[in-house]
Amino acid sequence: MSTTTEAAASPIPATHKACVYDQPGTCSIAIRDVPTPEPGANEVLVKLTHSGICHSDHGINLPRPQWRTLPFPTQPGQVGGHEGLGHIVKLGAGSEKAGVKVGDRVGIKWVSSAVSQAIPGGRFPFASFATF
């Protein structure tokens, strides 16, 4: 029995394009092909339709006092961007208990040092994803 559920309509590629920090400590980024991850227990895989690079991305790449709680510099090859929109394409084991399913439109909001448990009912104010 499979531990994940995935969309049958479109195959999930082994790699995908991502914006990576290629020279931590500078503003340099590069678009690279990276392996597509498998969702772990209580995780989902989201095919992004929209994403961005924001001020906090620069904060983990450049020495700024307001981001002193984050590791600096970030590791080379770290994928950038942490706020996005897309659709769930695969469920990790147990993630269906959060009330999400393959095909759901979701938003991803990064919150540092927050609870990562989803709250039943579709509102996830302190989690790493939210449904719309």
DSSP structure class, residue 120: T
Taking the alpha carbons of 47, 53, 56, 57 in that order, is the dihedral positive or negative?
Answer: positive
| Among 129, 63, 91, 65, residue whose Cα is nearest residue 2 | 91
pLDDT digits (tens, 9 = 90+) for 3-51: 555 544 478 999 998 888 888 777 788 889 999 999 999 889 999 898 8
Spell out the domain ranges in the chain. 5-131
Q: Which CATH class is domain 5-131?
A: alpha beta
pLDDT digits (tens, 9 = 90+) for 74-113: 778 878 777 889 999 999 999 888 889 999 999 887 655 4
Asked if residue 124 has pLDDT above 50, the reply is no
Instruction: Give this prediction's pTM.
Output: 0.69
Residue 18's CB: how many other CB atoms inside 10 A?
20
DSSP structure class, residue 4: -
Cα separation values, 95 from 4, 37, 47, 81, 88, Å: 9, 16, 16, 23, 11
